[in-house]
Structure 1
C-alpha cells in the first residue's frame, strides 16, 4: 500500500473514534512515515500518540521510531530514543541506529565514525544476547568504505568470516568488494569478487566502480564481457563507472563506442552523468572542440558540472580561447539560475582566472579578479585531512 494511503486510512480511523489500534498498527504506520520523504511531521504526531497511549515502552515500536527518525535525517531524536531504551534494546534496535547513521548524506564522515563507535558498543553488549548479524555488517562496511578505514574494515571482514559464508551471501560480498575498493585495496576486492558464487547487478557494478576508481580501464572492459556471459545487463550506474574508467584510462574510442551503444545494445537511455563522462573523456584526450560541439548538440540541457569539466580540460591543455568561451557559459548559467550560490560562483570565477593565468593573459585575469571584488565574492579556503593509524 502506498505510504500516503496508509496514513490517510490511519487518520480516518482516529477521526472516527470507533477503532482501537494496537501496537502492530502503529509499527506499520510509523514504518510508512519512514518510507515517505514528506511525512516527518506526520510521523512525529504518530509518535506523540504512541507515548500518550502508553506504547512508548514497546521495543518493536521504539525500534521503528528510531528507524523513522534516522530515515528523515533526525539522528538526534533517534539517538535520544535509543539511549532511553537502555537494556530493552535488541539487535534490531542497534541495527536501526547504526543504519540511521550510515544513511546520512550531510556530514556523512561524522556519522560514519558515529556508526563505527556504536558498533563497538554493540560488541561489548554481546553477553546480553545482543549480537551483530548480516544487516549490522552491511551497515558497518558501508561506514568503513565512506571514510576509507581499511583497518576497521579488515577487522570486520575477519569477524564476518566466522559467522557468514561470504561466497554465498551476495549482499555481504558486494559490501566487501565496495569497501576494499574504496579503501584502496583493489587486490582484496578482486579476491572477494572472484570467490563469490552468486553475483547480482550491484556486485558487478561495485567491482567495475572499484576498477574504474583505480584507473584499470582494460580490466573494466574485461569485467563487462564476463558480466554479459552471465546474462546480467548493465544499468545506468554501471555505465557511469564504465565511461569514467575509459576516460581515466585514455580509452577514447572504447568509451565512445560504449556510449553510442547504450540504447541500441543495452536498452539504457543516457542521462546527464553519461554525457558528462563523455565530455570528460574527450577533454582529457585534448579533443576540446569535439567536446564543445558534443555539449552544444546534446539533447539534454548541459549543467554546471559538465561545463566545469570542460573548463578544467581547457586549463590543462592551455586553450584559453575555448576556456574563455566555456567560462562565460558558466557565469551566464549562474545569472540565469536566479539562485545565489556564492561557493559555486567563486569556483567558476577562480577556474576562469586560472585558465587566463596558465596562458599568461594577466590583464584578463586581473579583470576577473576585479569582477569578484565588485560582486563581493571571496575564494573559499581549501583544507585536507590525514588519517592516523
Structure 2
C-alpha cells in the first residue's frame, strides 16, 4: 500500500516494496544509482510512523543488504529510517556495518546514530560515537553538536552536555532547549528554570520543555502558571497540561482544560484524546466518555490506533457499559494482548463470565499470546461462573503451556473460586501449598466464603492469621463477627465486638456518593 501525506509518498507494506524492487530487476535498473537511492528512500520511509510494521522493517533491511555497493547517501538514508523506527537498534548495527565496509560517515550520519543511542539509552556506544565525531572533525557542525548535546543531556553526562552548550552559539535555541530538557529530565528543575530565565529568546519549544518538566514532576501550579504566561501554545502545550492533570488524578481539571482548548480553536490529537479517555475512565464519567469517543471518531474518520482503542474499551468497561466496550474492541484492527486482556477482564468483572471465557478461547486461536494479566481475567471469570474444573485446568495451562508462574492475584482468584463453590477445605489447603506468602486479601476472600457457607471453625483459624498480619483492621473483626451472626452464635459475635473495643479498633463509618445533574 502507498500512503500520501503532505506531498510525500510512503510505502506502508511489504508487498508494495517487493513490487517496486521486482520492477527494477525486470527492467534492469538494479545498477542505476539514482533509482536505487529512491528505492532506499522509500524503504527507509516505510520503517517510520504508526503504520510501520516489523515485517516492513525487516524486508527493507534485507533489500538494502542486497545492494552491492551502497553509497554514503544510501547508508545515511537507511540509518535515518532505522533510527526513527520502533527498533532503533538497527541504526547502530548499520553504522557498525558501514564502518566494517570502510564507508566513511559524514555530518549526516552521526545525528541519526546518536538519536538511536539516545532512544536506546546506550551511553557507552553514544560516547564512542562522540569520540569518532571529534576524530573526524565534525564537532563544530551545528546539527552534530546539538545532537551530541541532546544525547548527553538525556542519558549521558550533564557535565559534558554543559561543556558542549558553553562552546555553542548562545543564540542557538535548540542548544538552550536541549540543556534545559536535560536538567529537567534529571529532576533538577531549579537549574532548568534558571536556564529558561536566562534564554535570550524563548521559542515555543523552550516553553513546552519547561511546562512538560513541571507536569512530569507533579508541580501543576508552576506548570499552569507558565502555561498561562506562554505567549504561544500548540497542541503539545495543551497535551502537557491535560496529561499532567490526568497523571496527578486531577481529572476534572483535565476535562475543563480540554473544553478551553476547543474554545480557542486548538485541534486535539490522539495524545489529547488518550488523556481524556483515561480521565473519564478514572472518574467513571460515561457521559463525557461518550462525548470524547464521538470526537475521536470525528477527527480520526472512524479509525483509531490500537492504543486509543484499548483505552476506549477500558473506559467503557470501567463505566459499566460493557456492550460498548465489546463494540469498540471489535473495531480495533490490530488487537494486541492489552486489547484482549481489557475486554476479557471487563466481561469477567461485570458478571459476563461465559462471554469472557468464550473470548479467551477465541484469543487462543489468534497469534496473540496470553500473559499473566489475561489469566487473572480468565480465573476471575471461572470464579464468577462457578466452574471449578475449568478454572483448575486454566491455572494448570498457564504454568505448563505458557510458562507463566502464578502471582498472588492468580492465587487469590483460585481461592475465591474454590470458596464460592463451597470447597473451603480445598481453598485452605491451596493457600497452605502456595509458594508465595498469602496476603490479607487472599485470607479475607476465604473468610468471606466462610460467612456464606457458615464455617465458623475455619473462620476462626483465618481470623487468627489476619490478626497476626494486621491486628488493627476493623474489617477483619467485623467479617468474623458476621460469620458468627450468620449462624446465630450471638455470643461469639459479641465477643468479637468486645475484642475490638479492648484493642482500640474502631469501625469506619460507611459512606456513599451519587452524581446528580442539576
Deviation per CA, 1:128-164, whole angstroms, max 9, x where unpaired? Answer: xx21111111111111112221111111111111111
Deviation of the 1:272 alpha carbon: 0.9
Match of 1:352 among 480, 484, 495: 480
Deviation per CA, 1:187-218, whole angstroms, max 9, x where unpaired? Answer: 22222222222211111111112211221112
Contact 2:153 2:161 in 1 (8 A): no
Deviation of the 1:114 alpha carbon: 1.8
Aligned residues: 364
For residues 274-289 of structure 1, the aligned pairs below 5 Å read: 274-289=410-425
Q: 1:13 to 1:195 in 2, by over 3 A?
A: closer
Which residue does 1:89 correspond to in 2? 233
- Scaled by the length of structure 1, the TM-score of the pair is 0.85
Which residue does 2:176 correspond to in 1? 23
1:124 aligns with 2:260: no
Which residue does 1:291 correspond to in 2? 427
The structure with the greater share of residues assigned to helix is: 1
Which residue does 2:396 correspond to in 1? 260
For residues 240-389 of structure 1, the aligned pairs below 5 Å read: 240-334=376-470, 345-389=473-517
Which residue does 2:194 correspond to in 1? 49
Q: Distance in 2 between matches of 1:115 and 1:168?
A: 21
1:231 aligns with 2:376: no
Deviation of the 1:60 alpha carbon: 2.5
Q: Distance in 2 between matches of 1:364 and 1:155?
A: 53
* Relative contact order, higher structure (CA 8 A, sep 6+): 1
> SS at the partner of 2:326?
helix
Higher mean alpha-carbon deviation, 303-312 vs 355-364, is at 355-364
> SS at the partner of 1:372?
helix
- Scaled by the length of structure 2, the TM-score of the pair is 0.65
Match of 1:73 among 218, 223, 227: 218
Q: 1:244 to 1:31 in 2, by over 3 A?
A: farther
Which residue does 1:338 correspond to in 2? none
Match of 1:103 among 235, 244, 247: 247
Deviation of the 1:27 alpha carbon: 5.1
Higher mean alpha-carbon deviation, 373-382 vs 23-32, is at 23-32
Deviation of the 1:230 alpha carbon: 2.0
Q: Distance in 2 between matches of 1:314 and 1:328?
A: 14
Deviation of the 1:113 alpha carbon: 1.7
Contact 1:30 1:65 in 2 (8 A): no
Deviation per CA, 1:68-103, whole angstroms, max 9, x where unpaired? Answer: 333333333333333332x42221111111111222
Which residue does 2:330 correspond to in 1? 194
Q: Distance in 1 between matches of 2:419 and 2:188?
A: 48
> SS at the partner of 2:488?
coil
1:113 aligns with 2:249: no
Higher mean alpha-carbon deviation, 366-375 vs 50-59, is at 50-59
Q: Distance in 2 between matches of 1:286 and 1:57?
A: 68
Which residue does 2:341 correspond to in 1? 205
Higher mean alpha-carbon deviation, 17-26 vs 212-221, is at 17-26
Q: 1:69 to 1:295 in 2, by over 3 A?
A: farther
Deviation of the 1:170 alpha carbon: 1.5
Q: Distance in 2 between matches of 1:17 and 1:179?
A: 45
Q: Distance in 1 between matches of 2:480 and 2:224?
A: 45
Contact 1:177 1:189 in 2 (8 A): yes
Deviation of the 1:62 alpha carbon: 3.3
Contact 2:454 2:487 in 1 (8 A): yes
Deviation of the 1:368 alpha carbon: 2.4
Unaligned runs of 5+ in 2: 1-120, 124-151
Contact 1:211 1:217 in 2 (8 A): yes
Q: Distance in 2 between matches of 1:379 and 1:2?
A: 54
Higher mean alpha-carbon deviation, 372-381 vs 264-273, is at 372-381
Q: Distance in 1 between matches of 2:479 and 2:159?
A: 54
Deviation per CA, 1:8-66, whole angstroms, max 9, x where unpaired? Answer: 71146559996569224235415633xxxxxxxx3323333334423794432333333
Q: Distance in 1 between matches of 2:312 and 2:431?
A: 37
Which residue does 1:339 correspond to in 2? none
